[in-house]
Amino acid sequence: MPDQSSSQPKPVTDWWRPELVALSPLTFMRKLTRAFLRGLVKLIAFLLLRMEIKGLEEFPRQGPALIVFNHLGDADVVLLAAAFPIYLATEGIGKIDLYDHWLVGPLFRAYGVIWIHRGQPDRKAIRAALGCLEQGAAHLARKAATVTGGWRKHRCAGSCHQSGRDRAVRHRTK
């Protein structure tokens, strides 16, 4: 039986805009915007959802972390943002196709995500993500394709967090 996941081509960004790919400076306004957006997401999740969060004690209180997750839909990003501890300073990475989206584009630009071109070697985005880890922040990377039936392990220089659907967050170190 052929593997169904390999029969469909992986998504590739239709256009190239390397001038948008960078680690945004963490200005006072950006910090304020991030605090507001994270608080708003937490409030909405608290009021409208019955979330059960397990494994938060596994997140380090300091130092860099790489948080990689697979997603089934775009709402997963909102749920994950609501689940993260407030003390965890996070950087995000997002597909550059969302830059001009009418709703999430302005929010992601205000937050300061690192834009990435999918399906292409984007060394500038990788350098920006590594710069984020060097600064000691946590880095969120959304996998472009869903891995069926489990979670993948990703190695990183410092602490590495992995989460899978319906599983507690697990902590691994190199």
* pLDDT per position as a tens digit, 11-69: 888 889 999 999 889 899 999 999 999 999 999 988 988 888 888 787 777 778 777 77
pTM: 0.71
**Each residue of 63-90: pLDDT tens digit?**
787 777 777 777 787 788 888 877 777 8
111: region left, alpha or beta (phi > 0 left; psi from -120 to 50 alpha)? alpha
- pLDDT value at residue 145: 29
Distances from the Cα of 67 to the Cα of 30, 50, 92, 106, angstroms: 21, 23, 10, 23
Q: Tell me the C-alpha to C-alpha distance, in Å, between residue 96 and each of 21, 22, 115, 120.
A: 8, 12, 5, 12
- Structure token digits, residue 101: 């989206």
Spell 66-83 as b/e; 16+ CB within 10 A means b: bbbbbbeeeeebeebbbb
Q: What is the three-class DSSP state of 61?
A: coil
Q: Rounded to the nearest 10 degrees, what angle do helices 28-48 and 104-111 cross at? A: 130
Buried/exposed 23-41: b ≥16 CB within 10 Å, e otherwise: bbeeeeeeeebbeeebeeb
pLDDT at 149 over 70: no
Residue with tokens 């999740």: 45
